[in-house]
Amino acid sequence: MIDKFLKRIGGKQPAAPPPERPAPPPVIDVTDGDFATVVEQSTLPAVVDFWADWCEPCHVMSAYVGFLAQEYAGRMLVAALDVDENPETPSRFNVMGLPTLLILRDGQEVDRIVGVMPYEEIKARVDHLLVSN
């Protein structure tokens, strides 16, 4: 019966289902306690999303940060820090408005984005950092 079916469809075996894709890398949640170890000592450049739950624009930027984590997996550390639960790190980096994305290389700030910006512009700034790295 299978032979008749294969003959009817041209003799080809049905294609195997595509392999499972690995889950995209998550955005790493960091705290005041582990920021230095996870972000500042990272061998990869880093993007850190400073956000708060009550901040509506932060939710838009958090989605963009998730896209960055997927697109730059293995080339960039992507992290998020809740400023309400972790006030020391935002104070240390003079984060005055939300959302704020800090872009760091070797633990040093090299770029800052405050407010909502189109994803393509964020991506262009990240690409510039990676090219100049």
Active site residue 28: no
Q: Indicate which residue of 58, 103, 104, 126 is catalytic.
A: 58
Q: Indicate which residue of 44, 55, 110, 114 is catalytic.
A: 55
Name the strand (E) or helix (H) holding 66: helix 56-71
What distance in Å separates the CA atoms of residue 53 and residue 57, rounded to the nearest whole number?
A: 10
Active site residue 58: yes
What distance in Å separates the CA atoms of residue 73 and residue 79, rounded to the nearest whole number?
A: 12
Residues designated as active site = 55, 58
